[in-house]
Amino acid sequence: MTTPAAVIVDAAAYAQAVEDTVKAAAAYYAGGTSPLDDDAYDQLVRGIAAWETGHPEQVLPDSPTGKVAGGAAEGDVPHTVAMLSLDNVFSPEEFTAWTASLARRIGHDVTVFSAEPKLDGLAIAARYTDGRLTRLITRGDGTAGEDVSHAIGTLEGLPLELAEPVTVEVRGEVLMTTAQFEHANEVRVAHGGQPFANPRGASAGTLRAKERAYTVPMTFFGYGLLPLPDTEAALAARLGELAHSALMAQAAVYGVNTTAATAVPGITATTVEQVLARVQEIAALRATLPFGIDGVVIKADLAADQHTAGSGTRAPRWAIAYKLPAVEKITRLLDVEWNVGRTGIIAPRAVLEPVTIEGSTITYATLHNPADITRRDLRLGDRVMVHRAGDVIPRIEAPVAHLRTGDEQPIVFPEVCPRCGAGIDTSEQRWRCEMGRNCHLVAALSYAAGRDQLDIEGLGHTRVVQLVDAGLVADLADLFTLTREQLLGLERMGATSTDNLLTAIETAKGQPLSRVLCALGVRGTGRSMSRRIARYFVTMDHIRAADAEAMQQVEGIGTEKAPSIVAELAELAPLIDKLAAAGVNMTEPGATPPAPGIADSSAGSTEQVGGPLAGMTVVVTGAMTGALEKLSRNQMNELIERAGGRSSSSVSRKTSLVVAGEGAGSKRAKAEDLGIRLAAPDEFATLIADFID
């Protein structure tokens, strides 16, 4: 989707747009702050360029077009080779037009492209003398940059000494990973500062800071390698002849961090179609990356093509940035709602002035917990940076503190449960109603009765409300002691519907332990985690006997989650006892039981020994047909695990098999690209026929 240009209607609007972009660029390059988010800045610059095309006689000298860093950055350390910016494209059509223009310039079609993620940070040049890091320089205005050598030793991925004693310059991007950004804000707030609005600004501000009482780590990714005037002649000649991909391989040999070890390594491609496919692959992985990207950098890979194409005053003609839709925008925090979940967790939710990100209008964002609000120093009326990528729930990164007017108001935290008025347990970061699940009993029971949990047909939300209001059900176990007489006494419950519901409840008693565990709604677990726990421990007795150390043996449960799961299972003990007494199944069929004589906290196997999918990771995509047609995605995952496999929702090199039904799209395409085995639903059903009910 092409980023629209801002509409500039006259010379006055043009002059204002130039002034706004110059101020925004100056603020960013001075300290990492800006009144505009990246998307708003890009739209203004495109609007300025469009106006200047139609009115060349009115171009202002301060215009950001044709200038590195929008003309806002300066420096006093000359670059030996100009350190330019990149021109942008925003659609396949624009990229195809650029490749055609490049082909005309060099006299032939490009035979090899390189494609690598456009990292969302700050460009620097790192100079090495005899293999030792001696100087760090920002891009500046492209001809000279600012000396930031005080940051040497704080950049992960940029070694103090190369693996070989060479004199070279490594160019790359300095950024903060998601974890580094969170750490930086914790440290900054602890020292009395305002939290950074986003990782990019945090990197820019931190790199230039010289007199802070603290330091925080950042990460460097190399994207260029070139000789210096003192580089040994033979090496200089060799570097000048290497393709970009070969230069990156050489940088890695020297010990410099590149994207090669990430989920989105730089690759080479021979056609426009392959490049565009790679753009889509990187875009699909964007939300899962531990660092920010805002596009894909595409280059003519061969040195000869680069030399022939040359460079302009702002950007090389042999490289382009394919910008992805913005995932961060600035908007206003209007209010905070306090919602109570089915387990009694009181969750704050931000109400936002509507803003469009990746084609979706965002009006709400997660705030995690009260401690998070306090740590980020959020206030009603704040301009805030909102982040959303892919299907990830929108979140507020931080207030844009330099845009505050003084009219912002503190966020008021609830003193009692906003749903039932009971007290609030504030002993943990996530506050909880003291009534726990009973605060939102209807939601808890509706979830437990759902298709992917106990699958009690006929027990929808309306019926649950009726049972709770009638005083017949006070917890999950009460469902299993309902009598025919009690149900017939309810409004709109005839003999047939009563008998059908009682039959469904009786059937639910035989559901596997994994579904019972999921129905309990233990915080920190879901359908997949409940299956893993059940198949690992096999019986509810073993699960309840497990301590935190034993619980950590289950895949996906770490040191933080294990104690909370153990504690909540202890809290649920009376309910579990009632369920067992009512005849609800407490074992996982098909799982390997613990070895005789081993303590109750021991476990069975997470795989079905000898199953047809033993040791395999399986992804299901598209609509199932035949024997699998009526199975939900959760039921398919259960089936995979009963047959000895491991279900997954994403395709990667670790995937063993992709079951591709009708309408399978990107996951099937990715499996084909990776050479992963594909199976149609009927073929898969035959493979696991013994495990289909």
**CB distance 113 to 298 below 8 Å:** yes
Coil vs helix vs strand at 387: strand
Q: Which residue type does 218 have? A: M
- Set 23, 67, 118, 630: catalytic member: 118
Rounded Cα gap, residues 321 and 84, in angstroms: 12
> In the block, which residue shows the tokens 């080779």?
81
Rounded Cα gap, residues 522 and 551, in angstroms: 13
Active site residue 118: yes
3 state SS for 613-663 = CCCCEEEEECECCHHHCCCCHHHHHHHHHHCCCEEECCCCCCCCEEEECEC
Element (H, E) at 88: strand 88-89
Rounded Cα gap, residues 79 and 83, in angstroms: 7
> In the block, which residue shows the tokens 């680069």?
306
φ/ψ (deg, to 5) at 214: -145, 160
Rounded Cα gap, residues 153 and 156, in angstroms: 8
Rounded Cα gap, residues 575 and 616, in angstroms: 36
Sign of CA dihedral 596, 600, 606, 611: positive
Beta-ladder partners of 133: 128
- For residues 417-435, one letter each, b for 16 or more C-beta atoms within 10 angstroms of the residue's C-beta and e for the rest, the string is bebbeeebbeeeebbbbeb
Which residues are CB-neighbours of 538 under 8 A, at least 6 positions away? Answer: 513, 587, 588, 591, 592, 593, 594, 603, 604
Rounded Cα gap, residues 438 and 477, in angstroms: 13
Q: Taking the mean position of all CA atoms in its chain, how far away is CA 689?
A: 37
Q: How many CB atoms lie within 10 A of CB 397?
A: 21
Where in the sequence numbering do the catalytic residues fall?
Answer: 118
